[in-house]
């Protein structure tokens, strides 16, 4: 490795294993590296732990859409903003299972069911448990994102066969209150503890491009990497601007800053799957390839995310073929 521009960064690749505590300054130093050096460093870490030509694919389904009590400034599903997203009840089980089967047939290995709740009521959770059992029975990995959990709910999800619970920290604790006022960063951490204690894999990441500073982005990465155990899966979402929400007209982030964030996640969480998440539809194939080079090795696969679009399957399949990437 050419040491010159890398020397300023205090940890070396070999010691960047899970268990290390990161400081915001360490991660800011990663962000400050020349992009080519940063990507090289991320590649080194990536290749130590993963096949660099394999990408995991999850398909998302919004099983309960809109009407959410929370005020997350980016979200199409908050009842507080006038968006184009129509409110829908919890989907019937057979429709969810049919969607999961279709996703499996198209080549997704995990099915992720999302609900626009602050958290699930016990009777709603019972219906989601049936969904988890039936999707698991198809031979797929299961994931749900249902908001904040109450005591005992994570254990029920584990018993039903849940593999992953997605619950993002979303942004730096310092910036959180500027984006969301109806719950706190500590509330999010509390649910992550419950998920971890129940023995479910943790999927937690964030959104960038919401007007946060680079320091806020570095702090988010640090807060994820310094969890007692880093999340097994780390989604990095680029803000999808939703008309009607407070962030609708937010200035777009420099795409290279997105790539840097992926690289920082890869380097600080070497054994985690880093997911190139929302915002892919607006990205060129070349930008996505740069994200994979920076260490992203998982993505959402299917024409829709929750309420917004995702690249269609044909485009993704063609991209994988052009890059020589295999799906896992
Ligand atoms: N209500 C649950 C919660 O907040 O955890 C689950 C659903 S919520 C829509 C899941 C995640 O989607 C959020 O944590 C956020 O990271 C992401 N998300 C929502 N709207 C987004 C947007 N407009 N752009 C990018 N990511 C978004
Ligand atoms: C995650 O981090 N991103 C996904 C999933 N977890 C649930 C959701 C992205 C939502 C993008 C906006 C929408 O489609 O509503
Ligand atoms: Fe509700 Fe989740 Fe959207 Fe926040 S991000 S408004 S909690 S659905």
Q: What is the pLDDT of residues 39-57, one digit of tens each?
A: 999 999 999 999 999 999 9
pLDDT of residue 20: 76
Q: Mean pLDDT for the chain?
A: 94
pLDDT band of 324, cuts 50, 70, 90: very high
Q: Are 132 and 140 in contact (CB under 8 A)?
A: no
Q: Which residues are catalytic?
A: 68, 72, 75, 112, 143, 203, 275
pLDDT band of 19, cuts 50, 70, 90: low
Q: What is the greatest pairwise CA distance in the chain?
A: 59
Is the pLDDT at 13 greater than 80? The verdict is: no
Q: How far away, in angstroms, is 87 Cα from ligand 1 center? A: 16
Instruction: Say yes or no: CB of residue 233 within 6 Å of ligand 2.
Output: no
Is the pLDDT at 7 greater than 80? The verdict is: no
Is the pLDDT at 4 greater than 80? The verdict is: no
Residue corresponding to tokens 């129509």: 86
Is the pLDDT at 292 greater than 50? The verdict is: yes
Is the pLDDT at 16 greater than 70? The verdict is: no
**Helix 285-293 to helix 255-268 angle, to the nearest 10 degrees?**
20
Instruction: Tell me how many degrees the CA angle 100-132-94 measures, rounded to the nearest 5.
Output: 50
Where are the extended beta strands (E) located within the chain?
54-64, 110-115, 141-145, 164-166, 201-203, 206-208, 233-238, 273-276, 298-300, 326-327
Instruction: Say yes or no: CB of residue 225 within 6 Å of ligand 1.
Output: no
266 CB-near residues (< 8 Å, 6+ apart): 42, 45, 46, 274, 294, 295, 296
Is the pLDDT at 128 greater than 60? The verdict is: yes
What single string gives the DSSP state of each residue in 169-238? -BS-HHHHHHH--SS-HHHHHHHHHHHHHTTPEEE--EEE-SS--HHHHHHHHHHHHTSSS--SEEEEEE
For the entire predicted model, the pTM comes to 0.94
Protein residue closest via CA to atom 3 of ligand 1: 147
Q: What is the pLDDT of residues 65-95, one digit of tens each?
A: 999 999 999 999 999 999 999 999 999 999 9
pLDDT of residue 58: 96
CA distances from residue 193 to 10, 239, 261 in whole angstroms, order as listed: 30, 26, 24
């Amino acid at each position: 490795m050419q040491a010159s521009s890398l020397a300023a960064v205090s940890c070396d690749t070999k010691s960047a294993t899970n268990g290390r505590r990161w400081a915001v300054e360490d991660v800011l130093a990663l962000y400050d590296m020349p992009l080519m050096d940063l990507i090289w460093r991320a590649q080194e870490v990536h290749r130590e732990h993963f096949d660099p030509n394999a990408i995991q694919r999850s398909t998302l389904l919004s099983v309960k859409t809109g009407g959410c009590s929370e005020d997350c400034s980016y979200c199409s599903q908050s009842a507080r903003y006038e968006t184009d997203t129509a409110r829908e009840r919890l989907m019937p089980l057979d429709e969810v299972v049919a969607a999961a089967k279709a996703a499996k047939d198209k080549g997704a290995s995990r099915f992720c069911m999302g609900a626009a709740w602050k958290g699930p009521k016990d009777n709603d959770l019972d219906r989601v448990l049936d969904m988890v059992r039936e999707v698991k029975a198809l031979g797929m990995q299961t994931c749900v994102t249902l908001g904040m959990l109450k005591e005992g709910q994570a254990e029920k999800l584990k018993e039903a066969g849940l593999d992953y619970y997605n619950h993002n920290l979303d942004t730096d604790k310092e910036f959180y209150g500027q984006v969301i006022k109806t719950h706190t960063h500590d509330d999010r951490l509390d649910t992550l503890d419950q998920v971890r204690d129940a023995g479910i894999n943790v999927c937690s990441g964030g959104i960038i491009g919401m007007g946060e500073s680079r320091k806020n982005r570095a702090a988010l990465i640090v807060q994820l990497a310094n969890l007692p155990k880093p999340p097994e899966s780390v989604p990095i979402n680029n803000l999808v601007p939703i008309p009607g929400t407070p962030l609708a007209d937010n200035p777009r982030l420099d795409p290279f800053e997105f790539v840097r964030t992926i690289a920082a996640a890869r380097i600080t969480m070497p054994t985690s799957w880093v997911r190139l998440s929302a915002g892919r539809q607006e990205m060129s194939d070349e930008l996505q390839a740069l994200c994979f080079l920076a260490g992203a090795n998982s993505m959402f696969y299917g024409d829709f995310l929750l309420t917004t679009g995702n690249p269609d399957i044909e485009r993704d399949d063609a991209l994988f073929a052009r890059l020589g990437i295999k799906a896992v």
